[in-house]
């Protein structure tokens, strides 16, 4: 765990895998114990220091009362010893408060780091099916505002608990001084309890709604910004602003409703204890007049009433904070309780080196609860073979690629790599050996060189290594990279927004080649590149593909002809297989699919890929020969 969390507190590797409803019964603090446990000594020490500080705080009114009775009521007494004692108590309490507050806040922030790290790691371990049904903005909200709500509660709750302990200790001291006066001071407390329960019961559902609607606002913002070019190209700014306004209004209603509840009940909660002040003054004054109580005692009682009021002044805030933290914790546990569908087997098969032999046997698959998209695929790809997968749109070509690298598992049937079912191999082993380059590659907001070396962490931070330069040459990316002022250190912008589609595809292809996988799957990975440049790239890749199994999910005739064998995928099954010439001669369906694909792709094939400006995403680079 510590390795995963920079600055973390050495928490356990995971929180208990309890479903969210059961987590309610266990209590969310108990579920956080694997994270809180390593901090227990710091928390215990800080809390003990806090107890000493509150003991001093409770002792001060008594000292003041004694000072008044002995130094003022009695003649000849000196005030200096009492004043020095009070000053010493104040200094000691101040220093102790610094120590225990520092310890508690330090613990709260370390727990925040650990929980955020656990949540982030769990999100990275989630299967693709999880992201098919969950909005990114919702997850960002849970990783940010929800974690912060939990952290704030953990920082404040011990301070409130200390105040409550000071309340109990003050009551004990007051009882030792005068039982009737103590009863008068605490007379309003039952009403405080009733109001506190009502406030808590009303705040929790509102806190859950607020956290959910904050996530909704975050989702609208994140999605609109991520797709800002689409929004602008369709002139949909006003529509997105209106959607954001609707989400903000829904959040405003929940916040206003929470504020209304707090405005009605919190003042009663905070001020009802003041009734005790009135009763103490009335009863205490009568007792002093009757000579049954010293003046110093009644002054001390007034000071203790202030101590009694401190917890109640913060009780409304604390209840709001605790209910919000509870709602946030449950939302976090909803994510942490999600079990990834793609996991390592209990007894994984270890293969020292893969040859790239692929086999699919009666594979069936569909997304979510939808129908089967693949309806019994049988296919064998020999090591070192280059196979093109061809089919109409929606025939399952890209889905097949995702099954081969185990992004998804089939509903039935088996996918094997070198004779071993993928589900029997470690997930990391499969994904090191089988790499997919998609048609819409994702680039990180870093430099060109670091995007190329993303799969090779040993090359990151070392500048453009020779291996990076070589792979850039192989994918015909060195030209536009070196044409920039900073070269490989040129930032690419978010998601590679400063690059053209073809440039992004070349970087993604180079990134995959640098990993040197046994199986390389190009899922229409050169669709945005001019056919002449594509041919040049594939010629340069011939030596990289030597001995490597290559799957080409193809739409272009220029890509299909690079394969030694073509597989026609139709209606979720392998309809035919053979060379391009053989299928062209014998398969009417192949000719139909090919004709449709070429008609749809005519515009792309006709483009000239000549741009060299990295800052102009509308053009690609590389002069056609």
**What angle is formed at CA 328 by the lines to CA 326 and CA 329, rounded to 5 degrees?**
65
Number of folded domains in the chain?
1
* Amino acid 544: pLDDT: 65
Which positions ≥6 away from 194 have C-beta within 8 Å? none
More confident residue, 195 or 420: 420
For residue 587, give its domain range: 385-407+433-605
For 514-530, the pLDDT digits (tens) are: 888 889 998 887 777 77
CA–CA gap between residue 344 and residue 427 (Å, rounded): 6
**What angle is formed at CA 164 by the lines to CA 163 and CA 170, rounded to 5 degrees?**
90
In a domain, 481, yes or no: yes
CA–CA gap between residue 337 and residue 117 (Å, rounded): 15
* Amino acid 194: pLDDT: 79
Q: Are strands 434-437 and 358-365 parallel, antiparallel or unpaired?
A: unpaired
In a domain, 127, yes or no: no
In a domain, 571, yes or no: yes
417 pLDDT band (50/70/90 cuts)?
very high
Task: Tell me the Ramachandran region of residue 409: left when phi exceeds 0, alpha when psi lies from -120 to 50, beta otherwise.
Answer: beta
Kindly report the average pLDDT of the chain as a whole number.
78
Find, among 555, 561, 560, 565, the residue nearest to 598 by Cα: 555
For residue 485, count CB atoms less than 10 angstroms from its CB and return exposed for 0-12, middle for 13-18, buried for 19 or more. exposed
Is the per-residue pLDDT at 405 higher than 80?
yes
Count how many Cα atoms sit within 13 Å of the Cα of residue 232 in the half-sphere of its side chain: 5
Per-residue buried b or exposed e for 582-600, using 16+ beta carbons within 10 Å of the residue's own CB: ebeeebeebeebbeebeee
Is the model's pTM score more than 0.85? no
More confident residue, 53 or 613: 53
For residue 426, count CB atoms less than 10 angstroms from its CB and return exposed for 0-12, middle for 13-18, buried for 19 or more. middle
The arithmetic mean of pLDDT across residues 556-564, rounded, is 83
- For 433, the token pair is 């050996």
In a domain, 234, yes or no: no
CA–CA gap between residue 512 and residue 495 (Å, rounded): 17
* Amino acid 309: pLDDT: 67
CA–CA gap between residue 228 and residue 165 (Å, rounded): 54
Count how many Cα atoms sit within 13 Å of the Cα of residue 521 in the half-sphere of its side chain: 23
How crowded is residue 232: how many other Cβ atoms within 10 Å of its Cβ?
11
For 240-284, the pLDDT digits (tens) are: 888 888 888 888 888 888 888 878 887 777 777 777 777 777 777
624 pLDDT band (50/70/90 cuts)?
very low
In a domain, 558, yes or no: yes
Q: Is 435 helix (H, G, I), strand (E, B) or coil?
A: strand
For residue 159, count CB atoms less than 10 angstroms from its CB and return exposed for 0-12, middle for 13-18, buried for 19 or more. middle
CA–CA gap between residue 485 and residue 487 (Å, rounded): 6
Q: How far apart are the first and last CA of the chain?
A: 54
In a domain, 420, yes or no: no
Is the per-residue pLDDT at 34 higher than 50?
yes
- For 148, the token pair is 């912060």
For 332-360, the pLDDT digits (tens) are: 888 888 888 888 888 888 877 788 899 99
The arithmetic mean of pLDDT across residues 422-435, rounded, is 90
In a domain, 306, yes or no: no
For 166-206, the pLDDT digits (tens) are: 778 888 887 887 788 788 877 777 777 777 777 777 877 78
The arithmetic mean of pLDDT across residues 136-162, rounded, is 80
In a domain, 110, yes or no: no
18 pLDDT band (50/70/90 cuts)?
very low
- Which of 69-78, 321-330, 418-427, 574-583 shows the lowest per-residue confidence on average (mean pLDDT)? 69-78
Across 366-518, the runs of DSSP E, i.e. the strands, are: 374-381, 386-390, 412-417, 420-421, 434-437
* Amino acid 416: pLDDT: 92
Residue showing tokens 């917890």: 311
**Averaging pLDDT over each range in 264-268, 316-320, 410-414, 446-450, which range is the top one?**
410-414
CA–CA gap between residue 333 and residue 147 (Å, rounded): 11
Is the per-residue pLDDT at 70 higher than 50?
yes
- CA 597 to chain CA centroid, nearest Å: 40
* Amino acid 421: pLDDT: 92
For residue 213, count CB atoms less than 10 angstroms from its CB and return exposed for 0-12, middle for 13-18, buried for 19 or more. buried
Residue showing tokens 């009763």: 279
The DSSP secondary structure of 27-50, one letter per residue, reads -HHHHTHHHHGGGHHHHHHHHHHH
CA–CA gap between residue 357 and residue 374 (Å, rounded): 21
Output the domain CATH number for residue 562: 3.40.50.300
Percent of the chain with pLDDT over 70: 85
């Amino acid at each position: 765990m510590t390795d995963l969390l920079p600055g973390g507190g050495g928490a356990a590797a995971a929180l208990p895998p309890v479903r969210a409803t059961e987590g309610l019964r266990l209590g969310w603090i108990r579920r956080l114990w694997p994270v809180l446990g390593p901090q227990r000594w710091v928390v215990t020490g800080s809390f003990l220091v806090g107890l000493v500080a509150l003991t001093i705080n409770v002792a001060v009114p008594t000292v003041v009362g004694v000072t008044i009775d002995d130094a003022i009521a009695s003649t000849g007494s000196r005030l200096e010893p009492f004043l020095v004692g009070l000053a010493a108590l104040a200094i000691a309490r101040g220093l102790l408060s610094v120590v225990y507050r520092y310890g508690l806040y330090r613990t709260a922030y370390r727990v925040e780091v650990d929980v955020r790290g656990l949540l982030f790691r769990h999100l990275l371990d989630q299967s693709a099916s999880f992201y098919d049904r969950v909005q990114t903005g919702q997850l960002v909200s849970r990783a940010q505002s929800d974690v912060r709500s939990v952290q704030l509660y953990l920082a404040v709750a011990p301070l409130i608990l200390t105040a409550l302990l000071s309340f109990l200790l003050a009551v004990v001291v007051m009882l030792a001084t005068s039982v009737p006066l103590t009863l008068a001071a605490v007379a309003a407390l039952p009403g405080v309890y009733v109001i506190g329960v009502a406030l808590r019961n009303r705040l929790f559902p509102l806190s859950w709604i607020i956290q959910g609607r904050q996530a909704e606002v975050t989702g609208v913002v994140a999605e609109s910004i991520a797709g800002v070019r689409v929004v602008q190209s369709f002139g949909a700014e006003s529509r997105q602003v209106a959607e954001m306004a609707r989400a903000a209004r829904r959040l405003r209603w929940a916040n206003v409703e929470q504020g209304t509840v707090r405005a009605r009940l919190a003042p009663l909660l905070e001020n009802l204890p003041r009734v005790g002040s009135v009763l103490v003054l009335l009863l205490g004054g009568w007792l002093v007049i009757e000579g049954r109580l010293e003046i110093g005692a009644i002054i001390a009682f007034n000071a203790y009433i202030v101590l009694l009021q401190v917890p109640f002044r913060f009780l409304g805030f604390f209840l709001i904070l605790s209910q919000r933290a509870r709602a946030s914790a449950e939302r976090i546990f909803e994510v942490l309780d999600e079990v990834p569908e793609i996991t390592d087997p209990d007894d994984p098969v270890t293969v020292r080196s893969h040859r790239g032999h692929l086999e699919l046997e009666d594979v069936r698959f569909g997304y979510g609860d939808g129908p089967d998209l693949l309806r019994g695929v049988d296919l064998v790809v020999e090591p070192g073979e280059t196979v093109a997968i061809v089919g109409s749109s929606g025939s399952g070509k890209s889905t097949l690629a995702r099954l081969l690298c185990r992004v998804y598992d089939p509903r039935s049937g088996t996918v094997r790599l070198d004779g071993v079912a993928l589900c029997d191999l470690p997930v990391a082993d499969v994904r090191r050996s089988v790499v997919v380059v998609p048609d819409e590659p994702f680039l990180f907001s870093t430099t060109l060189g670091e995007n190329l070396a993303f799969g090779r962490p040993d090359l990151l931070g070392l500048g453009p290594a020779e291996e990076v330069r070589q792979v850039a040459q192989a994918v015909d990316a060195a030209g536009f990279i070196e044409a920039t002022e900073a070269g490989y250190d040129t930032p690419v912008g978010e998601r590679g927004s400063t690059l053209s589609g073809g440039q992004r595809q070349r970087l993604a292809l180079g990134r995959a080649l640098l990993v040197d996988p046994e199986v390389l799957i190009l899922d229409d990975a050169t669709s945005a590149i001019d056919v002449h440049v594509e041919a040049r790239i594939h010629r340069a890749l011939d030596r990289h593909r030597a001995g490597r199994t290559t799957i080409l999910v193809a739409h272009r005739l220029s890509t299909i002809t690079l394969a030694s064998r073509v597989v026609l995928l139709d209606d979720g099954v392998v309809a035919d297989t053979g060379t391009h010439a053989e299928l062209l001669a014998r398969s009417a369906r192949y000719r139909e699919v090919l004709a449709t694909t070429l008609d749809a792709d005519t515009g792309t094939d006709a483009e000239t890929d000549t741009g060299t400006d990295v800052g102009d995403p509308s053009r690609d680079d590389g002069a056609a020969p």
